[in-house]
Amino acid sequence: MLNKDFERAIAQADDRSFLYLDPPYYQAGNELYTYQVLTKRSERMRDLLNSRLGFAARAPHIWWGVSVEDRKYGVPRIGHLQAANASVRFLSLEPLLEDIGEISLGGIRWTIVGGESGNRARPLDIGWARSVLRQCREQRVACFVKQLGHRPISGQTAMRLRSFNGVDWGEWPADLRVRQYPSL
């Protein structure tokens, strides 16, 4: 799987770790598929995309993204991604664990928002998702609300959903039923 290979390679201290990856998906003309590379190791990815992986960074069928779950760890990754010479950049705000405040989405094409699933899921306040959605609209960035998660709340009030992980958007507030894709 491409994501696992990239994640493993990005984690390595030695740039030569990328030599074991099969390069066909890097090549122009292989746009039949879109590859999404998502990492929490944003500084390493930025450095590699601006050097050794510059050829892959420019490929429009390879989208480069970072996880943004909170202010402390996630928000700084946005700047690292914006500093990468990538053709297509995206953010995965899932699970969104807190209000991340006002963010700059310059150079970002797509934002995915969602809550956490599973029995130990932490809550997603739908106000946080609404804030991200508003900022995406204001900054003209496509937004995809994936799921509300297992424990959505509105303020301090738990939302009761029939679907275990909040994936049935028929149960969601109408303003959060947003599934946009970036235009490339």
Phi/psi of residue 143, nearest 5 degrees: -130, 140
Burial 88-111 (b: 16+ CB within 10 A, else e): bbbbbbbbbbeebeebebeebbbb
Mean pLDDT to the nearest integer, 109-114? 98
CA distances for 105 relative to 63, 122, 162, angstroms: 15, 25, 34
pTM: 0.87
Residue 23 has pLDDT above 60, yes or no: no
Q: Per-domain residue ranges for the chain?
A: 2-176
pLDDT, residue 38, reads 94
Distance CA 113, CA 145 (A): 5
Band the pLDDT of 19: cuts 50, 70, 90.
very low
Distance CA 77, CA 70 (A): 10
Query: Which tens digit of pLDDT belongs to each residue from 128-181?
Result: 999 999 999 999 999 999 999 999 999 999 998 888 777 888 899 999 999 999
Q: Which two tokens stand for residue 70?
A: 């909170």
pLDDT, residue 35, reads 85
